[in-house]
Amino acid sequence: MNQLPTLPGMIPAIQEALNARIALLLRSPLIARLATPPAEEEPDDDYATLFSLFEAAARPLRSRPPRPSTWQVDPSTEAATARVDIDYDDRWRGYERDVREAVEGCVESQVLLLTDAQRLLLERSPEEFQELQPPPRAVELLGFRVERVGGHDRVVELTVAEAPEPFEQIRHLAIVANLIPLRRQLAALQVVERLPPGSPLRCLLGLEPADLLPAAPLPAGHIAEGHPLPGERLDPFQAECIAKALRTPHFALIQGPPGSGKTTVIGGIIRRAVKAGQRVLVVSPTHVAVDNVVEKLVPQAESQAEDPLPAHSLPVRFSSRKTKLSPLALQYWVSSKKQHRAATLSLRLEARLRERSPLARRLYDQVDDTLPGRAPLSAALAATCQVLCGTPIGLLSAAELKGAEPGSFDLLIVDEVSKLTLPEFLAIAVMAKRWVLVGDPAQLPPYNNAAESGCTLDPLLDARLELACSLAGLIDSVPPHSRGRLRLVAVVRDPAGALPIIQAQLAGLDPAGAQVRVCEPKALESAMTSLGEGSVKLLVERGLSLPRPDFASGARLVEDRHRAGALLHDIAFQVFHDWPWAERAGIELSTRGRRKTLARVLPTVEALRLANPEADHAEHLLLSAETYALNTVSVYDWLAGVPVEAFDVSPLVELAQVMAPLQALREAVAPFTGLLRRQYRMHSSLSRVPRELFYFGEALQDGKPDTGKGSRVRLLQVQGRGEGEENRAEAEAIVALLITVAQGHSSAGERPLVLVITPYRAQERLLRAAVDKAGASLDSLEVEVCTMDRCQGREAAYVFFSLTRNRASPFLDAPKRMNVALTRAQEGLFLVGDIEAFRREADRARRKGGPPRMSLLARVVEAYDHQGGAK
Amino acid sequence: MTKLSREEIETLLLLEAIGDGCPVGELAGRLGLCASLSAAVGEAARGLSGLVEEGEAGFRLSAEGRLTLKAIGL
């Protein structure tokens, strides 16, 4: 099967998008292995039979003594560690980005371990590599460490989930997209296809009219919706949200700004649902959010009688491994691995049985945890648990869900839903009957790997167009005064057909002396000769197999392709996550980044038309937009609706049209949508600026009484020289400040949590190294370092924000990202960096008159200055 | 001292609780667990195929189950 059957009522664009996904899946070696089990070879004649006998007899003669394994296995976790050389002369050379970043992007994903022969095949013929039988071994990458040799990153120490025997030696690492989530999403879509008419999930996908959704809320029953349970304190908004979630016949949306009690509301919903005998799934794309829910549900000490959850309803925290779990959540952890399943429950059971039964005490004195076996009581306990928690994909690995029928659970609660796309949601949603989506659309959107999203567009986008975009992107990335040194060769199948597309893409660029040749593979040598001596960059059309150029030739293969798909991804991202904010706020941000993106995309769209003269342009665009909408827009935005009417820029209109049929669905869900307005996390001086900038005064009102006057925000000027995405002076200043505070705090006893946030991974590493170096000097504080994108769902007493660079970038101009960074602190926020540079930018913008155009960071600095007390 | 796996320990505890026959609802009580766990315990008992037989009156040990308990001196 390489296509889904035509589904009655399915939007053609969705059908096409699904088919594209299937095609992608079928190309993967993992799926190929599953789909086509190796056939047993049957000898077709007597000679062949004889030969196979000889071959079997000779096998021992060929075998070599096994070499020692390069893998070191940790017996407690089964994680295996090995060192891999990075061979710069081939596999990694073309990558423009840092090796460290490339590997880091794969943590928690599947990586392939290749023999030398397999690696060579991948280099020479990717198509044949895809067909390899048996396929290369795929393992889950848990972590890595890079070692520098001779001034370069040369060795990676990898840690993988389990020892990849029988491979004794590995030398190279190949990175592949993680196809497991994709496979599960596909399975879920097929389940939706089989659901009965009128099912809410079918309406969600637009397969059926939303008029079929019941409008009346469920009867109140005996669930104590509006009344607080013992030990529970709810504000009116929280109580209303709980009631809406419990009484929705299909979907409920709960929107809550930072610190507004989203987790409290989730806990309230779960407790009441469990009391009514319902089974509940709780998922979030982040481990932190899942753990927050678990911690909200369980008492600090199990002996506490106030626990309103019955014993069998205690949450079970599913995760493939425990390294990322909080200490309390770890007590409720159950691994998705068979041998570890119910291990935690076993310990809890043991504690209870030891208390009550002398026989149990005697038997447990003889326990050996290294012996295998699935404990029947613990397993049964896990199987009947009413509350299962985990990440959407992690939870689907649990045996309890793998074997369950769709709709086995009464309720699915999704936290941090702004980070979950519709396909990701569907993968787990099919297991439930009703759905409660909790999140904050003003926080971070779904994470998307542009390269992975791009590859789903491969079947849709012309390879020549992609090459043209790569070429334009490469020239655009070089300043005009340096372009004279650029010498580029584009290798294509059909130079005559590709030339107009490339010319259209380069039309808006000033080549400034850059030399570009377009040729077919056999003319490569003459094209290079025509460019003369020196370094040449080669760009090869997707699907063309070209031997890697000899190092001595001076040619470099550009592998980090600037995919056309990535550009469309940018568009979808901008449309759905930034623009409405700017529109509503009446603020015109620095338009440099957006204009640049549009300038790059509009030729792309034009080139689409050129590349496909016969194709229906609008339909093609619609298909692209649909694919991206599915892959980038959060399920919350899908259900709640994003105000897209204001767009007048083609091709964005098409996106709005895609969304339009969902209006009826949004109207059906509207009665079950709640907003949490009050925040209980931040000191009042910390919530003011985010309230005005990101919530327009409509939410994030202070729920706690103002405990102290004065501002708890400080803007600290550090005028260090930032290099790229690192700033050593800032890192040193922050750590010096922390050491001073730690010394003054030593006698207090408790260790307040300090979160150091930075936009960039490079600065994160620098900060972490500086904190590690400080060692015992920081013992009286609990210091954690993370990037802006990783800090969502977390909170800390004090937050230091290392700005790192002294000018804005499109990355930092994203309001959602900035909102997350500025709303983590409970008691104090310190912005550290070249503050004066942003003040100057704001002053310049004000002096020009009219609506001020400035970067978001300049606006933030200006707002804190205006609030007073920050200097 | 002979070492036992958790699987063996939990199985033995179940067998001991089942004894000569016991309604599912009482199993949890015998094991010192709260009553709400009875469903889980019943489920676990059903998994002990060969060692336990389920009749109208509840679970009872099979001949093999008795031998098992006897073998470890219970």
Report the share of chain A in percent with pLDDT over 90. 22
Residue written as tokens 């549009």? A598
Most confident among A32-36, A343-347, A372-376, A824-828 (mean pLDDT)? A824-828
Is pLDDT of A570 > 60?
A: no
**CA separation for the pair A763, A55 (Å, rounded):** 58
Average the pLDDT over A684-711 and give the result.
Answer: 84
Cβ of residue B50 closer than 8 Å to a chain A Cβ: no
User: A224 pLDDT band (50/70/90 cuts)?
Assistant: low
**CA separation for the pair A206, A14 (Å, rounded):** 10
Most confident among A47-61, A390-404, A416-430 (mean pLDDT)? A416-430
B9 vs A310, A367, A380: nearest CB = A367
- Contact between A495 and A518 (Cβ < 8 Å): yes
- The radius of gyration of chain B from alpha carbons, rounded to an integer in Å, stands at 12
- Contact between A316 and A389 (Cβ < 8 Å): yes
Is pLDDT of B21 > 80?
A: no
**CA separation for the pair A435, A200 (Å, rounded):** 10
* DSSP code, position A114: E
Helix (H, G, I), strand (E, B) or coil at A686: helix
Q: What is the pLDDT of residue A761?
A: 85
Chain B nearest CA to A310, separation (Å): 8
CA–centroid distance for A591 within its chain:
26
Are A377 and B3 within 8 A, CB to CB?
no
Are A371 and B74 within 8 A, CB to CB?
no
Are A357 and B13 within 8 A, CB to CB?
yes
Is pLDDT of A588 > 60?
A: no
B5 vs A372, A383, A384: nearest CB = A372
A312 vs B10, B32, B40: nearest CB = B40
CA–centroid distance for A319 within its chain:
17
* Cis? peptide before A372, omega within 30° of 0: no
Angle at A422 between CA A418 and CA A428, to 5 degrees: 100
Is pLDDT of A687 > 70?
A: yes
Across chain A, what does the average pLDDT equal? 72
Whole-model pTM?
0.68
Are A374 and B7 within 8 A, CB to CB?
yes
**CA separation for the pair B74, A175 (Å, rounded):** 56
- Contact between A145 and A103 (Cβ < 8 Å): no
ipTM above 0.95, yes or no: no
For A198-211, what is each residue's pLDDT tens digit?
899 988 877 788 88
Cβ of residue A339 closer than 8 Å to a chain B Cβ: no
For A724-772, what is each residue's pLDDT tens digit?
788 999 999 999 999 988 887 765 567 889 999 999 988 998 999 999 9
Burial of B57 (0-12, 13-18, 19+ CB in 10 A): exposed
Average the pLDDT over B45-53 and give the result.
Answer: 72
Three-state SS letters, A735-748:
HHHHHHHHHHHHHH
For A35-60, what is each residue's pLDDT tens digit?
333 344 444 455 666 556 555 555 54
Q: Chain B partners of A359 at a C-beta cutoff of 8 Å? A: 13, 16, 74
Q: For chain A, how far is it from start to end, CA to CA, in angstroms?
A: 65
In this predicted model, which residue has the larger pLDDT, A189 or B25?
A: A189
What are the backbone dihedrals phi and psi of residue A576, each rounded to the nearest 5 degrees, phi first?
A: -85, -15
| CA-CA-CA-CA torsion sign (A133, A134, A139, A144) | negative
Helix (H, G, I), strand (E, B) or coil at A745: helix
- Contact between B7 and A375 (Cβ < 8 Å): yes
For A550-564, what is each residue's pLDDT tens digit?
656 666 666 544 444
Q: What is the pLDDT of residue A393?
A: 77
Average the pLDDT over A783-798 and give the result.
Answer: 91
A807 is written with which tokens? 């000018």
Are A359 and B13 within 8 A, CB to CB?
yes
Q: What is the pLDDT of residue A372?
A: 66
**CA separation for the pair A698, A608 (Å, rounded):** 42
